[in-house]
Amino acid sequence: MARSTGTRYGTARLRTVALIGVDGSGKTTQAHRLAEALAAAGHPATYHRNAGGRRWLGRAAHRLGRPDAQGLLGRDAMLLVESVLRWLAIAMALLGCLFTGRVAVMDRYAACQYASLRAHGGQRWERLIRAAYRVFPQPQVTFLLTVPPAEAYRRIERRGTDQESLPYLTAADLAYRTLPESPSFVPIDGDRPADQVAREIRAHLAEWVSVDDEPDEPGPQRYRPWLPGPVTALVPIHALPWTTGPVAIQARP
């Protein structure tokens, strides 16, 4: 498929796209959709959920009678463990895509760890963590999904798979907006139906992903492989069939 080379993203082949934002902003839903859209447009992609283990640690804490991961390990230890686990996840994702040539669609990236440090009051570790994460290349595009903290809190409570406090979500939202990297983020209003959010993300990647803005023709629905089906609610990550590791999404013939 021929592509124009005169775009703001330059002539390089698309390799890495990151979706970041507070919990409940819709990162996972949109990352899956984007990987599918890229594959349908002829760019095989792999979804990677670069989690820091806080959900797993939180469940372990509950089993041991502690309120959360911070209560189990202490704030500093929790942040360091989270930083190491996320570093390993990102490293494995990048290496896998380097060898396979697939596009890496990153559900969370380095900026998520910097924001977590700031939101949890762990700024003293930020310089060290940044030094460790500096080995990772910057994604060609980083989408920052934004939602009001109160809406993010409602979504998290509704899905019922994890817990976050409203003060933490408010602090994390501010942290993302004030990171030194924030001017390079592409802000996406995540407080809209998932179809609209997905369409805007694809529009920013129009060099690689076809975007169909024409109204549906009357009669039978046309087949549009780049346009995922409608989503009526956020799908909890644990309910998806691809949660045990990276998801390789093949391009359709």
**Helix (H, G, I), strand (E, B), or coil: what is residue 37?**
helix
Q: What is the pLDDT of residue 71?
A: 59
**Domain 16-209 annotated CATH 3.40.50.300:** yes
- Alpha-carbon gap, residue 202 to 205, rounded angstroms: 5
User: Tens digits of per-residue pLDDT, 201-221?
Assistant: 999 998 787 665 433 333 333
HSE of 6 in the Cβ direction (CA atoms, 13 Å)?
Answer: 0
Q: What pTM was computed for the model?
A: 0.76
User: Tens digits of per-residue pLDDT, 118-156?
Assistant: 999 999 999 999 999 999 999 999 999 999 999 999 999
**Helix (H, G, I), strand (E, B), or coil: what is residue 248?**
strand
Give me 89's structure tokens.
Answer: 């996840």
User: Tens digits of per-residue pLDDT, 29-72?
Assistant: 999 999 999 999 989 999 999 986 566 555 655 565 666 656 55
- Alpha-carbon gap, residue 217 to 226, rounded angstroms: 17
Under 8 Å CB-to-CB from 250, ≥6 apart: which residues? Answer: 39, 44
Mean predicted lDDT score pLDDT of the chain: 79
Each domain of the chain, given as residue ranges in start order, spans 16-209
**Helix (H, G, I), strand (E, B), or coil: what is residue 122?**
coil
Q: Which amino acid is at 20?
A: I
**Helix (H, G, I), strand (E, B), or coil: what is residue 138?**
coil
